[in-house]
Amino acid sequence: MGTRFKGDTKAPAVNVTTWVLLVTILFSVFARLGTKYRLFHKLTVDDIQIIASLVFGIGQGIVVSLAVESGYGKHLKDVSGANLVQVMKNLYAGSLLYILSLMFSKLSMVVFIRSLTPSSRDKWLARGVEAIVYAWATVAIFGSAFQCTVPHTWDIWNGQCFDELAWRYFICISNIITDLLIFAQAMILVSSIQTSLERRLMFAGIFVPRLFVVAAIIVEIIFVRKGTQTADPTYSMCEITILEVIIQCLSIVSACWGQLKPFLSWMRSNGLRLDGVEDPTTWNYKMSSRSQTQSKSRDRKFENHESFARSSRRDQIFVTQDWELDSQSSQAHIVSETHPWTGHGGGQDH
């Protein structure tokens, strides 16, 4: 049996890269979701967004493979007219799925960073970054969808289209800007944490892999001119497609990286937690659940001993409100007692 790909072709490189990296993002997303569900028994908004990114990423991988089936990776002279149409249609669909996948992976990371802080300033910053990502994705999707005239909007090599080189430069540069904004959002959060420099650097290290996305996009910019200004696009554009698959993989993996078990455990041990989820094994979660099941009896107890509580307030401070039990501050869990030998509160035990 002969090989499926014969002659001078880049089809095997495109196919192998696409499917290997697709398996990589599948493992990354499943590891993240499995970790979150084991620790918290629920998924959050950023998890739904990364699932959406994965779905669009799978779709993009499928249409790239279909393009290869139709002749993408071969020289233009070796591709029939009918197959060339199928190649362009598949690449057209792939470009839209690629942007959607990037958008949801970016949003997942923005929401994750926002969930780590109670600061209203940081939350407003996150909303601003979200708005920019949505704006970028909207422009990129509509621009890519209508790059060529209707009805043959997919005819990127033969139709009447605006400058493909300029458009690809815009996509790459704006993609870099949004990822740098996400990284800056993370660094602002790190700088606001009141802890040692060593721990800040460890925390910052969780978000550093996002810069690999930027590096991959810069490499793509180098190949854009070669891939677009050519008389042999089915062969010359393969490097751009491979780099887009790499960028998509890095974007999803870096969005999952900080939510794997070692990093979540480290953040929780250093006083950080995800907004909207709580670890059911923690003292805080157990006390919160206990407070809900025993709220009526506890309220009756404090009503019957109201005068006693007022007189002993100087000696003991208890957390009794639900919002205090759920507080992100560790100080909300401190039980402060004044013992007889301190000289305060007399010699009576309470």
Domains and CATH numbers, the chain: 11-269 (1.20.1070), 283-342 (no CATH)
Give burial (CB, 10 Å; 0-12/13-18/19+) of 333: middle
In three-state secondary structure terms, 346 is coil
Q: How many CB atoms lie within 10 A of CB 172?
A: 21
CA gap 144, 67 in Å, rounded: 18
* Per-residue pLDDT at 276: 56
Select from 247, 110, 89, 82 the least CA-distant residue to 168: 247
Whole-angstrom CA distances from 178 to 16, 111, 149, 219, 332 are 29, 14, 28, 17, 37
CA gap 281, 288 in Å, rounded: 12
Spatial neighbors of 216 by CB under 8 A, at least 6 apart, are: 243, 246, 247, 250
In three-state secondary structure terms, 274 is coil
CA gap 210, 254 in Å, rounded: 6
Per-residue pLDDT of the chain (350 residues; tens, 9 = 90+): 344 545 589 999 999 999 999 999 999 999 999 988 888 888 889 999 999 999 999 999 999 999 999 999 999 999 998 999 999 999 999 999 999 999 999 999 999 988 887 778 888 999 999 999 999 999 999 999 998 888 889 888 887 888 888 999 999 999 999 999 999 999 988 888 777 888 888 888 889 999 999 999 999 999 998 888 888 999 999 999 999 999 999 999 999 988 877 777 766 665 566 665 554 443 333 333 343 444 444 444 444 444 444 444 433 333 333 333 344 444 443 344 444 444 444 444 44
Distance between start and end Cα atoms, the chain: 88
Whole-prediction pTM value? 0.76
CA gap 56, 279 in Å, rounded: 31
Residue owning tokens 């740098």: 180
β partners of residue 161: 148
* Per-residue pLDDT at 184: 94
